[in-house]
Structure 1
Amino acid sequence: MEISAIAAAATEMSQARFADAVQMTVLKKALDIQSQNATQLIEAASKVIPSNPPNLGSRIDTIA
């Protein structure tokens, strides 16, 4: 009985390590995807054409 209990415990520990490794791999992949999406969003936001004419806001009226 002792040997089978030891074997079962070793198997459970091995499965737990494998599950942890898989979870870390999935987490790293998710972080990579989020990083790519954030980069694309920043690039898309920088390409937005301003709706105001370029001369608007370039002068300050100091006479009031």
Structure 2
Amino acid sequence: MDVAGIARIATEMTDFSTKEAVGIAVLKKAIDINAAGALALIEVIPDNSQSAPNLPLNLGRNINTIA
């Protein structure tokens, strides 16, 4: 193997590791954005005891699966 071949392989390895680092950074950012969106959705879920104070607490807790 000549010097040019070694240099080419080293350059390709550097390019690959740079692309891999960028991909990981983008993935982490996407995970952070999804986590923030999920947290926002969880925060807007109403509390059952406060949303319908006139209804019994057991109402709406069971699903009839025998139909």
Give the TM interval when normalised to the shorter protein. Answer: 0.7 to 0.9
Within a 5 Å distance, the mapping from 1:43-62 to structure 2 comes to 43-46=43-46, 50=51, 52=52, 54-57=53-56
Runs (4+) off by over 4 Å = none
Aligned residues, how many?
56
Ranges in structure 1 where 5+ consecutive residues have no aligned partner: 59-64
Q: TM-score, normalised on structure 1? A: 0.74
RMSD: 2.2
**Matched residue type, 1:29:** K
Within a 5 Å distance, the mapping from 1:33-48 to structure 2 comes to 33-46=33-46
Larger radius of gyration, structure 1 or 2? Answer: 1
Q: Report Cα offsets for 1:5-28 as digits up to 9, x if no partner.
A: 000000000000000100010000
Within a 5 Å distance, the mapping from 1:1-64 to structure 2 comes to 2-46=2-46, 50=51, 52=52, 54-57=53-56
Q: Aligned-pair distance for 1:35?
A: 0.5
SS at match of 1:39: helix
Choose between structure 1 and 2 for higher RCO, CA contacts under 8 A separated by at least 6 residues.
2
Amino-acid identity (%): 41
Q: TM-score, normalised on structure 2? A: 0.71
